[in-house]
Each structure stands twice: as structure tokens, then as C-alpha cells.
Amino acid sequence: MIKWVLTLAAALVLLSGCSEKSGRPSDNTTNPSTAPAPGETVTPPMKPKAFPAVSDPYDADQAAANGDVVNVHGKMYNLDKWNLFLANLDVGVPNQVRITQYTVEGDPIFYELIYDGAEAIAYTYDNSRDGFGSDAGRPSTVCRGIELEENKEFGSHYKLTGCDNETSNTFWFTNIEAEAEAEQGSQ
């Protein structure tokens, strides 16, 4: 009987620790209690899948068929993949997403985000197919989070936070649908 009570108590303690993260938004920082001890080896997360190949031309229909989140001058495709990425970020599930946004001239610009499920979001910016831009050479950075910045002048947009370098400033993603809902709610 005592063994059963101790087992039940241990299970409850474990379950209460597991549910701690689900009740509040994640700040995507390492919890010291879950960080590896000095000398402890940690199994690295599985290598992410490669994003689908980009062909020439890479129009919005091809990007959407490849599973990219697509923004063509405010018309969005696969927005559910962005929402899933954000939800997985909150609960610590590895995920990746490529956002393809089109310039006024119709050229694709790529924003690739790979979340490791723990604390890092690897971000790569690729404007190599922008005929009127200057090729930045696919710069990358590692960031700790994403937040929605409310901005009346430029519109609300998602931005990367806690990044290693200035490449994060190239990330700009406006959820047109969420902004439209916010405008309707304020009227």
C-alpha cells in the first residue's frame, strides 16, 4: 500500500512539472532546471528536413504547392502553417517554416525559420531572386523568440527577438488576416 501511495505521489509530482509550461506563453529561454549539467551530453535534435527546391520562375502557386507560407501583396496562402509554427514554438515542438513574400515586381524573397524545440530559431534571409534588390548572400542568425509588434504607423508585424546579429532586422511578416480582424474589432 505504501509503495502504491509513493508511486502515485511521484507520478503527480512529475505531471505537475510537465503541465507547468502549457499554461502560459513561452519566452523561449532555457530553464536552468532543464539545462544540461556540466559534462552531461545532450542528444542534438534531429536534422531538419530541407525546404523544397526553388525553381525558376517561382510563382506564388508553386510556392504554395511547396508548402510555403505565401504573401502576394496581401493575399495569403498556407497561413495555417505559420499559425502551427507559432503554436509549436509555444509548446516546444521542433518545426520549420518558409515564408515567401513577393515584391511589387513579383520577385520572391524567402524567410526560412527552423525551431529546434528547445530555445533556438535559426533564421535565414534570401533575397537572391529579387531583381531590383541587392543580393545579401543568404545571411543567417539564431534567435530566441518571435513576437507580434503592434505598430500603428507601419502595421502590426512579427519580429524576431534575442538574435545573435542584425540579420534579424530583415524579418518582417505581417499577418494580413489578423490585422483585418483587429481593425474590424476596433470599429
Collapse the DSSP code of 186 into the 3-class scheme (helix H, G, I; strand E, B; otherwise coil) and give the result: helix
CA distance 144 to 51: 21
Is residue 47 a part of any domain in this protein? no
Q: 167 lies in a domain?
A: yes
Q: Is the pLDDT of residue 22 over 60?
A: no
Residue 152 sits in which domain range? 60-186
- Does residue 12 belong to any structural domain of this protein? no
Q: Tell me whether residue 102 is in a domain.
A: yes
pLDDT digits (tens, 9 = 90+) for 136-187: 899 999 999 999 988 777 778 999 999 999 999 999 898 665 555 555 555 5
- The Cα–Cα gap between 83 and 91 comes to 13
For residue 45, being part of any structural domain is answered with no
> Does some domain include residue 51?
no
Instruction: Look at the pTM and tell me if it is higher than 0.85.
Output: no
Residue 85, judged by CB atoms within 10 A of its CB (0-12, 13-18, 19+), counts as buried
Task: Count the neighbouring beta carbons within 10 Å of the beta carbon of residue 69.
Answer: 25
Instruction: Band the pLDDT of 83: cuts 50, 70, 90.
Output: very high
Residue 131 in any domain: the answer is yes
Other residues' Cβ atoms within 10 Å of the Cβ of residue 150: 10
What 17-26 contacts at long range (C-beta under 8 Å, 24+ apart), as own/partner pairs, is 21/91, 21/92, 22/91, 25/90, 26/89, 26/90, 26/91, 26/92, 26/145
Give the distance from CA 26 to its chain's centroid.
13
Residue 50 lies in a domain: no
Question: Above 90 in pLDDT, residue 67?
Answer: yes
User: How many structural domains are present in the chain?
Assistant: 1
